[in-house]
Structure 1
C-alpha cells in the first residue's frame, strides 16, 4: 500500500528548506529530547577521478540513571577511499558512564560477558573508541554543532550546511539541499526526517597535506526521541538485524529502505520492511516493500553476520533493485553502537516502471550485538570454519580440486575416472558427517580471538579456524572408535555409519589437512612458517600422548589414593592427561595465531600460558558437566539433559571430580566410590554420582579451574590493548572454567 505525504503537492521541486514560523529549521537541535541524532553520508569524486564515500554520525542522549549531569555524546566518522576504509569513534565521559550503567543493568547479556565488560569500561573506552574530553557545543536554536576538533556542522542562513570532519584525511564540505525534507514517521518513539539529496562541493586534505577539490551528493538524516523517557533509542528490534539502504537513483528518485531481519533463519520472516520514496518533483510517499538478502558475510572479529547484497521490491512503484555492496570487510568495530556495525558504499541496479534504473547507495547494518550466551556466540564461528574447511572437505566429489587437496593428488597425479567420487566417499564423507554438525566451536574461536587481541586484522587468516576445527573433529572420530561410543552430537558416531576401518582412515587423514589450509593464509618468512608447521605437529603428538594416557587410565594410582585418602598424585596424573589432550591443542592454536599476529616474546609467553590453562580448565569443567549430562544443574534436576548423565562413571573413568572427592570423603565412602568405578552397575553409579555432588568435590574442581585462568590472566592482562576482544578473552576463560553461569560465584577453594 502507498501513503503519499499530505504536503507533497505543496513542496517545490528544488527548494531551499525553510521551517514554518516558530519551528526549528531542519537539523535544529532539541536540547530537551531524551535522544537526538544527526547522520550524514555521501559520495564524492576528487580531481583525479577517485571516488570517496563518507559518513558522520552523532548521537546525543540523556542518561536516566544520572539526570543531574549533562547529556552524553557518541560520534563516528567513516571514510572509504582509494586506500581502503578508515574510521574513528569517540565517546564523551558522560556517555561512557551511561554505557557502563546500561551494561550493568542488561539482564540479557551473558553474565560472564557483562562482568568483563563492566570491569573494562570502568577503566575507559574500549579501543578503537576514544574518549572525547573536549566539550560538545550546540547552538541554543538552529544548528551549530562542534565536537571538539573532530567534527562540526552548521546551518547557514541560506539553508545550506557546512560540514567539517577528519579521519586521517580532513574534509570541509558545503552541502546544498536539492529537495525538501521528507518525514520517515514516528516509529518506536523516534521521529526521523531526512534531506534526500544535497549537492556537495568542498575540499579533501590528505594525511600528507595535499588538497583536492571534491564534488558529489549527500544524504542527511535527523532524528529525535519523541517520548518522555530519557534512555537512548536503538533501531534494532529484539532478536533482529536492522538494515538501511539510502539510494540515489540516476532517474531522480531517492529511496530510504529499512528492514528488520530476524537473526535466526527459523524465525518468523514477517518483519517490518518499509520504504520512503521521494520523486523527482519532491513528492514523498511511504510504501511496504520486500527485502530479500542475497548474500551474507560473517566477520571473524565479531562473528556478526551482515547482508552484503539484497533484492529490494516496492510493488507500488513497480520498483525492483539489487543493492550490492563489497562482499567482505567494511565493518566498524566500536562499542558506541553495540559491538560493531557495517557501513559501505553500494550500487543499485534494476528496473522501475519497466525501465532500467540504477544509482549509488549506502548500505548500513546494525546487528543484534547482544551476547546472551557466550557458548552460542562462539558457535557462530563454525560457519566460518566450515566454509574454510571446504577447501579440503568439499560437499561433493564434483569439486575435484578440493578432493585432490585432501588426497594429496593435486600435483597432477593420474587418477582413474571414478577416483574422485570414491575418494570423496572414503575420505571426505566420514569427516563431513561430524564436521557438518557444529559442536561448541570455541577452539576455532581462539584463533581469531588471539589475532584481535594483538590488533591484527583476522580476516586474511580465516583458514586457521578450519585447521583447528578439523584437527578437533578428526580426534573425535578416532576417540569415538577407541571409547566404543555410539553417538556424537546427537548423531550416530562416524564408525557406526561408515565402519571402523573407514573412520580410522578418514579421521587419521584429517590430522594432516592443516598443510593445505596454512597455505591459504598470508605467508610469513620461511623460518616463521616452519615454526608454525612444527607447532601443529607438536599439538598432534601431544594430543595422541594425552589420548594414550587416557586410554591407559589411572586405576593403579586411584586405588592407592583410595587407601591413603591423598589424591595429590592422582590429580597430577589427570592434569597431565588433560593438559596434553586438550590444553596443548588450545595452546598451539593460540600460539600460531600470536606468532602470525606479531606478538612480542612477553605477549607470546603469556598468551600460550593463558590459553593452555583455558584448555585445561575446560576439560576439568567438562568432567563436572558430565555428571549432569552436559546440562546445567537446574536442568538436570528437572530431567532435561543433553546426553546420559555420569557417562564417565558408567565407563569407569577416573575423572577430576573423582580424584578431588577422595580427599573429601571418609574411608567408607571412598570404598563406595571405588566399587562404583569397578562394578559400574546402575545403582552403584547413581550412588557415586550422589557422593560427588554432595561432598563438595565439584565446587573444588570449578574453583581450581577458575584459579588457573585467573592466575594466568593476571600476567596477560597488562600486555594487551584495552579492547572488547580482551574483555571477551577474559569471559572465555570464565566460560571454560565454569561452563554454566550458575557457577559464576565459585572461586578458588582448593584444599591446602
Structure 2
C-alpha cells in the first residue's frame, strides 16, 4: 500500500481545487505549488528536458510522477501511483520508455475497464491483472510509494525520486534495470500559472490547476553498467498539475474518456510557449466536449501572457502496436499574441503507455518554426497527443489497422499498371526480356482490379491484427513485418472471391461480388492467383533466411490444404449426417462433422495466419503448437458465432463492411445448410418438431415466414445459446496452455480478447 501521510485537508478525492487557490502563490517564489495535494484526485509532476552531451549529441528526457485518488464503487478510497520516463535520440530515431505502477494503479485499471469498455477487452484486461501485476511493458514498483506532506519529497518505490533541495531547485533520480539518471535543475524563470479550468462539460467535474516553471537549467548524468558516465546539460520545463480525478469510479459519475494535445516549447529568442487543447468524451452518449485551445507565452523576463489559439492537426502516424492514430504535425496560431508556428515530431514512432490508466499517448521530441511578433523563430520541445483510449468496440478498434493494411495491399496491387509491380505479380524476373509493358495494362485489369475491387472494401481487419499480434505477444516487434497485414488480408480476400463463385453469391462487403463484375472465369483465376502472393511477400520479408522461409511455406501449404478440405466438406454439405441424427436423436456425429468443417475451413486459415507471425518471431515446439491450436480455435469460434449471426440476421447490420448482406433472418436455413445451431437442436427439440424443422431446411428455399419460425424454434430450445457456450468453452480450453507460455503484455491481452470476442460477439444480441 502506498504511504501517504495524513494531511490537514480531507475533502473528497475528486474535489475541485478552486476553493483552495488562495493558499497557492502565483509568482511569489514560495513554491507551495510543489507540495502534494493529498486531498485532490490527481497529482502530477512532469519535467521535459532537452540535453546535449560533450559530443553534441542531442537527447530528450521526459519524466512524470503521478498520484491518483478516487472512490471505489463500494465507497472505499483507492490510491494509485505511477511514474515513467522516455528517452530519445532524435538524430538516430532512438526511443525507449519505462513505465512503473503500484498495485493501486493495477486495481484502477481493472475498475476502469469494467465501465464502458468492450466486454471482451474488459474481461481480458481484468483476467490479466488478477495477479495484481501490471500489463507489460508496464512494471510493478518494487517498493512502497512515499509522498511527504510538508515538502516536495517523492519516492516511487526506489525507482524514481524527486525532491527540492532549495528554492527553485529540483533533484531527480531515476533507476532502471540498465541505467541510472541523476538530474539537477535550477529555475531560470519564476513559476507561472498555466491555466485554471472551470466548468464541467457533460456534467463531469474536470477542474484542474496547473503551474509551469517554463525554463530551467538542467545538468544530467546518465550511467550504465560497463560504460563511463555520460554528462549532459541543457534546458528543461517543469509542469505541476493537480485537481479532480481523471478516472472517477464512484457510481454517481458516468465513465468518460479524455483527449488532449499539449505542446511545450523553448524558442531560440528566449521565449517559452505552452499550447493546449483538451476534451472529454461521454461514453454513454458518445458526445465530445472540447475546451477552446489556448497558449501561454512567457517572455525572457518571466512575464506571462495567455491568448486564445487554434491547434490544427496535419499528417498522422498510426501505431502498429496500439492501432492509435496520432497527428505528428500541428499548426499553432494565436493572432492576439502574434504567434504562428508549425510544430512537428522529430520522428513518428514515439509512443509510450500512459502512467495512470490503460492506453498510450504520443510523447514526442518536436521542433517548431514560424513567427512571433512578426519575427522568425525556431524552437524545440515536446509534442504530446493523448487520444481516446477507451475501447468501446473490439472490431471497431481493429479498424485502426485498415490504413496500414490497405497501404501494404496497394504496394502489391497498385492503383495503376506499374510495370515493376506487374512483373513481380506475373512471376517474372526483374529485367526479364518479356514485354511486360505490352501486357501490363491487361494484367492489371485481369489480376489486380478484381482483387482491389474487394480488398478496397476490406472488413475490420481482425485477421491482419492476429498476424502481427502473434509476433508482438512474444515480445518481438512487428514493425519490420508490416507486409504481414497485407498477406492476411489477401488470403482472406482470395478465399472470399472463390467462395462467392461457388455459392453464386450476388454481393460481398456491400458491393457486387467479384464474379458479378468481372465474370466467373476471371474471378476464379484471380482468386487462385491471389493465394500465390504469399511467396512474393515471404521473399520480401526474409530475403536471406531460407530456413525460416521453408518453415513459412510449410505452414502456408498446410493451411491451404486445410482450407480447401473444409471447403470441400462445406460444398458437399452435411445432409446425410443430419438425417441420421434426426432419426437417432444423437447429435454427436453431425456436431463433430460441422465442427470439423469449421476448424478446417475457417480455423485452418486463422491458424496459418497465427503461425506466420509466430514463426517470424522465432516460436518453436510447445509455444508454436499452443499458438497454432489457439488461433485455430479462434477461427472455429468465429464461425460458430457466424452461424448464430445468420439466424439473427446480424450480418445485415448497417455499416458492417465485413460480411455478405443478409436481408432476412435464417438465410442459411433458406439455403438448406446444416449449421452448428441446427445440429445442436437435435437433442433439444421434441422428435416430431425436429423432423418438421429438418424437412423444411433440407428442402431449401424456405419461405421467409417458415425460416423465421425455425429461427424462433432454435432460439427457444436453447440451440443458439448452446452453440455460443461451446465456442466459449473451446476458446478457454485453448487459451490456458498458451497463457502459461507467454508474458503478460498488451498483445496477449488483445489476443485473449480476440478469442472472447469471436466466441461471444452475438451473445447479447
Shared fold, TM over 0.5: yes
- 1:506 matched to which residue of 2? 526
Equivalent residues of 1:34, 1:231 under 8 A apart: no
Q: CA deviation at 1:409?
A: 4.3
522, 529, 549: which one aligns with 1:529: 549
Which deviations, in whole Å up to 9, do the C-alpha atoms of 1:696-718 show, x marking residues without a partner?
A: 21111111111111111121121
Change (3 A) 1:344 1:432: same
Structure 2 CA distance, aligned partners of 1:317 and 1:465?
A: 46
Structure 2 CA distance, aligned partners of 1:665 and 1:348?
A: 71
SS at match of 1:505: helix
Structure 2 CA distance, aligned partners of 1:408 and 1:31?
A: 68
- 1:111 matched to which residue of 2? 119
- 1:667 matched to which residue of 2? 687
TM-score (norm 2): 0.87
Q: CA deviation at 1:529?
A: 1.5
Equivalent residues of 2:279, 2:291 under 8 A apart: yes
Equivalent residues of 1:151, 1:163 under 8 A apart: yes
Residue correspondence of structure 1 range 281-360 to structure 2 within 5 A: 281-333=301-353, 336-360=356-380
Change (3 A) 1:307 1:223: same
TM-score (norm 1): 0.88
- 2:39 matched to which residue of 1? 32
Change (3 A) 1:697 1:373: same
Equivalent residues of 1:627, 1:646 under 8 A apart: yes
Residue 45, structure 1, aligned to residue 83, structure 2 = no
- 1:136 matched to which residue of 2? 145
Which deviations, in whole Å up to 9, do the C-alpha atoms of 1:219-257 show, x marking residues without a partner?
A: 11000116999779xxx9956642222111112222212
- 2:202 matched to which residue of 1? none
- 2:129 matched to which residue of 1? 121
163, 183, 193: which one aligns with 1:183: 193
Change (3 A) 1:439 1:80: same
Equivalent residues of 2:416, 2:444 under 8 A apart: yes
Q: CA deviation at 1:642?
A: 6.0
Structure 1 CA distance, aligned partners of 2:668 and 2:634?
A: 21
Structure 1 CA distance, aligned partners of 2:512 and 2:279?
A: 35
In structure 1, runs of 5+ residues without a counterpart are 1-16, 636-640, 744-752
Change (3 A) 1:572 1:98: closer
Change (3 A) 1:164 1:705: same
Range 532-541 or range 271-280, more displaced = 271-280
Change (3 A) 1:69 1:576: closer
Residue 680, structure 1, aligned to residue 686, structure 2 = no
Structure 1 CA distance, aligned partners of 2:263 and 2:687?
A: 71
Which deviations, in whole Å up to 9, do the C-alpha atoms of 1:278-321 show, x marking residues without a partner?
A: 23332322223222322222222211111222232222344332
In structure 2, runs of 5+ residues without a counterpart are 1-24, 198-205, 656-660
Equivalent residues of 1:238, 1:368 under 8 A apart: no
Structure 2 CA distance, aligned partners of 1:283 and 1:736?
A: 58
Q: CA deviation at 1:681?
A: 2.7
152, 175, 195: which one aligns with 2:213: 195
Equivalent residues of 2:633, 2:731 under 8 A apart: yes
Structure 2 CA distance, aligned partners of 1:161 and 1:631?
A: 60
Change (3 A) 1:422 1:179: farther
Which deviations, in whole Å up to 9, do the C-alpha atoms of 1:480-538 show, x marking residues without a partner?
A: 11111111122121222222222222222211112222244356732121111221222
- 2:65 matched to which residue of 1? 58
Residue correspondence of structure 1 range 569-584 to structure 2 within 5 A: 569-584=589-604
- 1:605 matched to which residue of 2? 625
- 2:720 matched to which residue of 1? 698
Structure 2 CA distance, aligned partners of 1:146 and 1:567?
A: 64
SS at match of 2:111: helix
Equivalent residues of 2:328, 2:344 under 8 A apart: yes
Structure 2 CA distance, aligned partners of 1:161 and 1:617?
A: 56
Equivalent residues of 1:170, 1:205 under 8 A apart: yes
Structure 2 CA distance, aligned partners of 1:226 and 1:589?
A: 45
Change (3 A) 1:153 1:381: same
SS at match of 1:391: helix
Structure 2 CA distance, aligned partners of 1:522 and 1:419?
A: 29
Structure 2 CA distance, aligned partners of 1:663 and 1:423?
A: 54
SS at match of 2:764: helix
Residue 718, structure 1, aligned to residue 748, structure 2 = no
Structure 1 CA distance, aligned partners of 2:298 and 2:255?
A: 26
535, 538, 559: which one aligns with 1:518: 538
Equivalent residues of 1:62, 1:231 under 8 A apart: no
290, 298, 301: which one aligns with 1:278: 298
Which deviations, in whole Å up to 9, do the C-alpha atoms of 1:546-570 show, x marking residues without a partner?
A: 2222112122222222222222222
The count of corresponding residues between Structure 1 and Structure 2 is: 713
Q: CA deviation at 1:162?
A: 1.7
Structure 2 CA distance, aligned partners of 1:709 and 1:142?
A: 53
Q: CA deviation at 1:545?
A: 2.1
Q: CA deviation at 1:666?
A: 2.9
SS at match of 1:576: helix
Change (3 A) 1:409 1:277: farther
161, 165, 169: which one aligns with 1:160: 169
